[in-house]
């Protein structure tokens, strides 16, 4: 709604571009400065939803749909490089660890008293992804100027079908409609933010296709996260000690060296890049001569990693302070799932048969975190009448897979189901693509 009270509706077919596609990004750019226009949703409704969610209770399905409708209108007015004013508190991955999110709010202060910038990965792996992402969206609709929520690589239809969010939605609602509604909304999340023109915030890292922030602004973000290209890189890449660009063991994005981040920051007039995406034991880690900082806000990641979490507070003078915190004492950790025992010969036979029909999955640059592998192996288990409850327990299955096929001197990416975690619960940092380890079975 403009100052004269006019509603700015979503572009009609008359406003389509010459090639016949809706000019949605153009509309967003033209109207980015306008306050969001919401359908008739009363403040008491939103406050009631927030109160319900703060108690770790999921909203009714119809209320989630209404929330997504309103959140879409708010997010559609934001830029690919969303400007954020200081002071602000920057947060990393949450991954469905709802009670730890509450601990974060207790330490940093509640929204809207504190301005927040979250850098993605709200869902998967933790046990309360539905409540976590719903609360952040409700706060965004209620206080759109006080909280910024970016997209992470797990805000994706494909990834969430494997790493827990899809199954959680089915378990809590009995159908996939809430999952579909929320994953459709993920397409509208901004991919980066810029604090006072000086601190560039995003989930993953830099891209060889992007030299300037204007390149980011020109991206079409209204889509599922691609398997490659600049948008993929922004959500998947990681900093590395080696100079230049390198292939990422994740199967998506790149690794980039200190020279890359220094040149990017200099070219764009940035103080540093803030990103998330990687668990670090202290909750934060400066790299690249303080040109890049990783912030991770899920303590005791996956309820077993033993790491601290951190957030960064930036004041009006762009001074920053890092605050660390431990897991909430209120976290309700479910009992550990049972271990799957699989006969060695049967396992190798099943695995080899699966791989022979799906060699393309194991290209070095595959679809990211090997979600294709998960789905294929699960289907093979179904065909062979393996207990579906066991087959569905992919984290345990993948650790068993890791033990069976890991050759000497190599480390597979199979533990990415609980990334960075060994069978014994220790944390690891680097992996080789699983394709390297599968190859001997195909010869």
Q: List active site positions.
A: 154
Element (H, E) at 233: helix 230-236
Specify which residues 199 forms β-bridges with.
195, 272
Specify which residues 255 forms β-bridges with.
238, 246
Specify which residues 17 forms β-bridges with.
none
């Amino acid at each position: 709604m403009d100052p004269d009270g006019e509603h700015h509706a979503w572009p009609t077919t008359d406003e389509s571009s010459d090639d016949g596609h809706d000019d949605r990004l153009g509309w967003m750019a033209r109207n980015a400065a306008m306050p969001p226009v919401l359908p008739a949703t009363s403040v008491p409704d939103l406050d009631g939803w927030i109160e319900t969610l703060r108690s770790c209770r999921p909203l009714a399905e119809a209320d989630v749909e209404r929330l997504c409708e309103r959140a879409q209108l708010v997010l559609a007015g934001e830029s690919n490089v969303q400007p954020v004013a200081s002071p602000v508190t920057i947060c990393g991955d949450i991954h469905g660890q709802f009670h730890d999110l509450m601990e974060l709010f207790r330490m940093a202060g509640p929204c809207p008293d504190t301005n927040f910038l979250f850098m993605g990965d709200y869902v998967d792996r933790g046990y309360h992804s539905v409540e976590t992402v719903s609360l952040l969206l409700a706060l965004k609709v209620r206080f759109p100027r006080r909280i910024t929520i970016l997209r992470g690589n797990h805000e994706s239809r494909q990834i969430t079908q494997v790493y827990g969010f899809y199954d959680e939605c089915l378990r809590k609602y009995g159908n996939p409609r809430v999952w579909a509604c929320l994953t459709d909304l993920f397409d509208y999340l901004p991919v980066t933010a810029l604090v006072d023109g000086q601190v560039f915030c995003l989930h993953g890292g830099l891209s060889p296709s992007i030299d300037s922030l204007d390149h980011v602004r020109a991206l079409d973000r209204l889509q599922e996260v691609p398997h490659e290209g600049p948008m993929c890189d922004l959500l998947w890449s990681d900093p590395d000690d080696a100079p230049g660009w390198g292939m990422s063991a994740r199967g998506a994005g790149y690794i980039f060296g200190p020279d890359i981040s220094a040149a990017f920051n200099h070219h764009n007039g940035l103080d540093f890049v803030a990103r998330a995406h990687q668990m670090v034991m202290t909750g934060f880690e400066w790299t690249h001569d303080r040109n890049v900082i990783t912030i991770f806000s899920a303590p005791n990641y996956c309820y077993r990693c033993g790491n601290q979490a951190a957030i960064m507070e930036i004041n009006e003078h762009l001074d920053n302070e890092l605050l660390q915190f431990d897991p909430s004492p209120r976290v309700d950790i479910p009992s550990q799932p049972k271990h799957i025992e699989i006969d060695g010969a049967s396992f190798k036979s099943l695995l080899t048969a699966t791989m022979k029909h799906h060699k393309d999955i194991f290209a070095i640059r595959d679809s990211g975190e090997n979600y294709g592998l998960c789905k294929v192996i699960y289907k093979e288990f179904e065909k062979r009448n393996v207990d579906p409850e066991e087959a569905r327990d992919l984290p345990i299955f993948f650790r068993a897979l890791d033990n069976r096929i890991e050759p000497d001197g190599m480390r597979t990416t199979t533990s990415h189901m609980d990334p960075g975690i060994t069978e014994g619960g220790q944390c690891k940092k680097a992996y080789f693509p699983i394709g390297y380890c599968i190859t001997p079975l195909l010869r």
